[in-house]
């Protein structure tokens, strides 16, 4: 399975999965970008994998279905009637298949009430897994809590945090630099974070993408996966995970 990262709007990423002449797309922000890549690859769209209902993730659904009407549209059962053209209604523990790869579905509410993520385990021990997490987990950050609670988001991120360190994190926005600008204010003595911040600053000066990230790096540097670390508990002035997370998330919202 090849993964093509496509730029859309100012900072969105669309992910096109290719298996020979067949293709699937994760969170199509817009159709023209996807259609251009499909034409370039000579591939036919067979599946749309949506993580949640926001317009910058489902905006291209209807136009893609007009071009490829037999395409199956996968999304959360909790997002019924909020996903254009949805045909498959997924729950925690369900599987999806594309080509010779089988992905696992995680129910990860918090950013929205119906958010899901897709995880494709590695096919060989020396290869990475692939996590398509929408706006739940970002490189260096996480999504705002528009429809969920801190406790829900901690539970959701805990599911993703338990995946192997060599999992590639295909998040849907290029927010990394701003996320790390905030992260160093709440975890300032973290040498891994300081190194990453410098690397990302250099990458963005040259307009290089910072997605995908690696989950092992996120575990070391992303404050929203580190609610159980003393430095973050000290900043939050509390130790209970959901309350630590909630206070740090509130600080980021005001950053």
111 carries an active-site annotation:
yes
Q: Which of 27, 53, 79, 111 is catalytic?
A: 111
Q: Which of 53, 79, 115, 135 is catalytic?
A: 135
Q: Which of 27, 115, 173, 187 is catalytic?
A: 173
Cβ atoms < 10 Å from Cβ of 195: 13
Comparing CA positions, the residue from 201, 205, 224, 221 lying closest to residue 213 is: 221
Distances 210 to 49, 117, 175 between C-alpha atoms, Å: 22, 19, 9
Please say whether the beta carbons of 71 and 23 come within 8 A: no
Q: Which of 27, 54, 79, 187 is catalytic?
A: 54
206 carries an active-site annotation:
no
DSSP symbols for 110-165: SSSTT-EEEEE--SSTTS--EEEEETTEETTEE---SSS-HHHHHHHHHHHHTS-T
Q: Which of 52, 53, 79, 115 is catalytic?
A: 52
Burial class (CB in 10 A: 0-12, 13-18, 19+), 214: middle
Preceding amide of 55 cis, omega within 30: no
Q: Which of 27, 56, 79, 187 is catalytic?
A: 56
What burial letters (b/e) apply to 228-242, b meaning 16+ CB within 10 Å? eeeebbebbeeeebb
Give the max Cα distance, the chain. 56
Q: Which of 53, 57, 79, 187 is catalytic?
A: 57
Enzyme catalytic residues: 52, 54, 56-57, 111, 135, 173
């Amino acid at each position: 399975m090849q993964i093509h990262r496509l730029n859309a709007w100012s900072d969105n990423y669309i992910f096109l999965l290719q298996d020979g002449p067949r293709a699937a797309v994760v969170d199509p922000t817009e159709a023209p970008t996807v259609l251009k890549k499909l034409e370039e690859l000579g591939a036919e769209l067979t599946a749309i994998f949506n993580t949640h209902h926001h317009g910058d993730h489902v905006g291209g659904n209807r136009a893609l279905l007009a071009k490829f009407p037999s395409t199956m549209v996968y999304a959360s059962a909790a997002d019924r009637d909020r996903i254009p053209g949805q045909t498959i209604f997924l729950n925690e523990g369900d599987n999806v298949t594309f080509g010779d790869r089988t992905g696992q579905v995680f129910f990860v509410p918090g950013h929205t009430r119906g958010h899901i993520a897709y995880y494709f385990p590695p096919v060989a021990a020396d290869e990475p897994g692939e996590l398509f997490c929408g706006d739940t987990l970002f490189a260096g950050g996480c999504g705002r809590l528009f429809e969920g609670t801190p406790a829900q988001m901690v539970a959701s991120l805990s599911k993703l945090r338990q995946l192997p360190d060599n999992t590639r994190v295909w998040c849907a926005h290029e927010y990394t630099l701003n996320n790390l600008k905030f992260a160093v204010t709440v975890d300032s003595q973290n040498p891994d974070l300081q190194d990453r911040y410098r690397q990302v600053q250099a990458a963005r000066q040259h307009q290089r993408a910072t997605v995908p990230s690696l989950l092992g790096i996120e575990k070391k540097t992303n404050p929203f996966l580190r609610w159980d670390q003393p430095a973050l508990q000290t900043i939050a002035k509390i130790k209970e995970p959901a309350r630590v997370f909630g206070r740090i998330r509130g600080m980021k919202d005001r950053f």
